[in-house]
Structure 1
Amino acid sequence: MTKGSVRFENVAKRYGEVTALKPLTLDIAPGTLCTLLGPSGCGKTTTLRLIAGLESASEGRILIGGEDVTNLSATYRRVSMVFQSYALFPHMTVAENVAYGLTVKRMPRREAQSRAEAGLEMVGLTGFGDRLPSELSGGQQQRVAVARAIVLEPEVLLLDEPLSNLDAKLRRHVREEIRQIQQRLGLTAVYVTHDQEEAMAVSDRIIVMKNAEIAQAGTPHDLYERPASAFIADFIGDANLIDAEIIGSGQTKRIRVDGIDHKLVMQTTLTGAVKLVLRPHQIALSATPRTDSIPAEVSYAAYLGNHIQYSLTSNVGEIFAILPPLETPFRRGDNLFVSWRSEDIRLVSQ
């Protein structure tokens, strides 16, 4: 294991009879950004706090850079944390906030100031050192929090829901900046969020958690294209989950949906009842039927500039579709026919 790596060996966390994290084994490679993703209460923040040393493991070992830090307090771990609230001192200047951790470690004042200026330069805030946090935008305050963390030269940078206090447009801008800083400095970063789009945008690897354990881990592409379960398919990007059945065997396998047989071009070991996974942009809508199409009625339509969202009711449940703008868009109450390409089909167990 090299500098900046993180390893959990059967690490669990319990509070009395409540299990916050089931025995967990994971590896985070140095220089990568790994996101812990999942709904509230899934164990992702507990995992982050265990890395930081803010929680102690009930069992198992935690290694950072190959060193066993299981019993080390947060003070002695080479990690820095960016909190959801930023936790900037309002009475201190930006430069004083960035240098705070260095001064606590009794670094000489002049050296701490120099490191703080370098940190602000790394996050694109040169010249902002004399301002107070209240004089900065939310995105700038977030970058100050990142600068304060990285000037400590951590082996691992931890980010706990770092964008949750920003509006949607600013979130996109700041997440790009955080990713660029991480890549430029070659930092190992562990990022916690419940926002799947955010996770896909910044991550080398995503660990999706559910019920205090790992549901699936992989690259954003792997999780989106090859979900291991209905939960992953629905959580990583919008998905239509349609009841289906695999019939036949070998080269004659087909997928039956609402009594209609469709080609099955993908290889699968699944048999019997399954869930058909179709992304909204993979749905085709037409006013005329095909031999394998499903009748549906438009229950909702929303024009969003570069695309139109449709919700449709059908015999197989509600279907969500995203289409490019049409010269004559479909309207609520229109009777349409839903179809898809055989190569777009993904299957998960019921």
Structure 2
Amino acid sequence: MTQVATGSVRFDGVVKKYGEVTALKKLDLDIEPGKLVTLLGPSGCGKTTTLRLIAGLEMATAGQIHIGGEDVTHLTATYRKVSMVFQSYALFPHMTVQENVAYGLTVKSTPKAEAADKANEGLELVGLAGYGDRLPSELSGGQQQRVAVARAIVLEPEVLLLDEPLSNLDAKLRRHVREEIRQIQQRLGLTAVYVTHDQEEAMAVSDDIIVMNNAEIAQKGTPADLYEAPSSAFIADFIGDANLADCDVKSVSDGMALVAMNGQTYSVPTRNSLSGAAQLVLRPHSLGLAPPDTPGVKGTVSYAAYLGKEMQYTVDTEIGPLFVISPVQAKPFRQGDAVCVKIDPTQARLVAS
């Protein structure tokens, strides 16, 4: 199967209101063809509303929506070249797998033989060749989700929409299916918009991530950009685990900030021109634990957990509780131990308080 067309998505000042409630503030958005972009954020942030506006399942209160350069603002879902993969799979239990995949094609009056051929191509693409005669109830959850993906892509959409597609799967299966979805998207060169609340999932599949909060975009960038250069404390705390510690910025020069914290000074890389009160982002993996007579931030272990490949600690310190992840040691620290938390300033990041 080859993708015949893939489209861009653009929002120009799009607003969505339900009565007096603003579900989406004035939103400007540009998604390039062939990219997988994830909408990520807490519940109620506007990500699902944005997806439904692209799909044509909701109509914009104001602004314009373009797909593949065409103004589709006032077109319903039937007339938009998009396909959606739903959280619940939405497979017809009385139809075979092949009939489910071919359903959208038959609705569009595609000849039965052609629809069957395309359905078989779709099933082969998602690794389910030979499963066409089975019923959905005879498949695992991961296989059912792949059927839903096949049903969407056989329609050859300009944009593929995925609404929390892995939320019903267990953790190990989620990893496997997300890899398959990403490989299919890249192989076909599909433009895809993916909604999830799972940060790890978003970072694993995305070209770009759009983090939303309070019905607007908080930051957009590659997974690495968002993790390494968060624009705010909210982004730092939402993308991966983060400790936020109050500090005072003394000066900024040539991309480095001199900050004071807990009576010590650190030279920290920064893209900001902050001064005065700010916060240091301290990632758990960048912190280390040492005996209490070592230079650093003094504290006491309040929680220690062995996770096989790593140890996780919570340490009550002079600057507040710190979450620390470290390799397993021959003699790990235990709850109640006095320790010193070592900070690597080259791994710290600076955000406004």
- TM-score by length of structure 2 reads 0.96
Matched ranges for 1:282-321 at <5 A: 282-291=286-295, 293-321=296-324
CA contact (8 A) 1:206 1:217 kept: yes
How many angstroms apart in 2 are the aligned matches of 1:22 and 1:253? 34
Q: 1:261 Cα shift?
A: 2.1
Matched ranges for 1:28-177 at <5 A: 28-177=31-180
Amino acid at match of 2:84: M
**What stretches of structure 1 of length at least 5 have no aligned partner?**
none
How many angstroms apart in 2 are the aligned matches of 1:81 and 1:239? 33
Matched residue SS, 2:217: strand
| Matching residue of 2:260 | 256
Amino acid at match of 2:35: T
Matched residue SS, 2:34: coil
Equivalent of residue 246 in structure 2, options 218, 243, 246 = 243
| Matching residue of 1:214 | 217
CA 1:63–1:248: 2 relative to 1, 3 Å: closer
CA 1:272–1:92: 2 relative to 1, 3 Å: same
CA contact (8 A) 1:3 1:64 kept: no
**What is the aligned length?**
348
CA 1:93–1:248: 2 relative to 1, 3 Å: closer
Q: 1:341 Cα shift?
A: 1.6
How many angstroms apart in 1 are the aligned matches of 2:8 and 2:200? 25
CA 1:109–1:264: 2 relative to 1, 3 Å: closer
Equivalent of residue 229 in structure 2, options 226, 235, 250 = 226
Q: 1:262 Cα shift?
A: 2.4
CA contact (8 A) 2:298 2:317 kept: yes
Determine if the alignment matches structure 1 residue 275 to structure 2 residue 279: yes
Q: 1:249 Cα shift?
A: 6.2
**CA deviation vs aligned residue, 1:269-290 (integer Å, no higher than 9, x gap):** 1111111001100001100434
| Matching residue of 1:180 | 183
CA 1:298–1:207: 2 relative to 1, 3 Å: same
Amino acid at match of 1:134: S
Say what the alpha-carbon RMSD is for the aligned residues: 1.4
Amino acid at match of 1:91: H
- How high is the sequence identity, in percent, across the aligned residues? 68
How many angstroms apart in 1 are the aligned matches of 2:270 and 2:42? 30
**What stretches of structure 2 of length at least 5 have no aligned partner?**
none
Q: 1:295 Cα shift?
A: 0.5
CA 1:102–1:329: 2 relative to 1, 3 Å: same
How many angstroms apart in 2 are the aligned matches of 1:239 and 1:77? 41
CA 1:298–1:144: 2 relative to 1, 3 Å: same
CA contact (8 A) 2:269 2:349 kept: no
Matched residue SS, 2:119: helix
Amino acid at match of 2:350: L
Q: Which moved more, 1:244-253 or 1:53-62?
A: 244-253
CA 1:3–1:187: 2 relative to 1, 3 Å: closer
Matched residue SS, 2:150: helix
Q: 1:305 Cα shift?
A: 0.7
Amino acid at match of 1:263: S
| Matching residue of 1:324 | 327
How many angstroms apart in 1 are the aligned matches of 2:59 and 2:345? 50
How many angstroms apart in 2 are the aligned matches of 1:119 and 1:218? 31
Amino acid at match of 1:324: P
Matched residue SS, 1:232: helix
CA contact (8 A) 2:211 2:220 kept: yes
**CA deviation vs aligned residue, 1:63-111 (integer Å, no higher than 9, x gap):** 0000000011100100000000000001110000000001111111111
| Matching residue of 2:23 | 20
**CA deviation vs aligned residue, 1:277-322 (integer Å, no higher than 9, x gap):** 011000011004344x110110111111111100111121110000
Q: 1:264 Cα shift?
A: 3.7
How many angstroms apart in 1 are the aligned matches of 2:78 and 2:271? 51
CA 1:103–1:265: 2 relative to 1, 3 Å: closer
CA contact (8 A) 1:266 1:343 kept: no
How many angstroms apart in 2 are the aligned matches of 1:215 and 1:20? 15
CA 1:95–1:234: 2 relative to 1, 3 Å: same
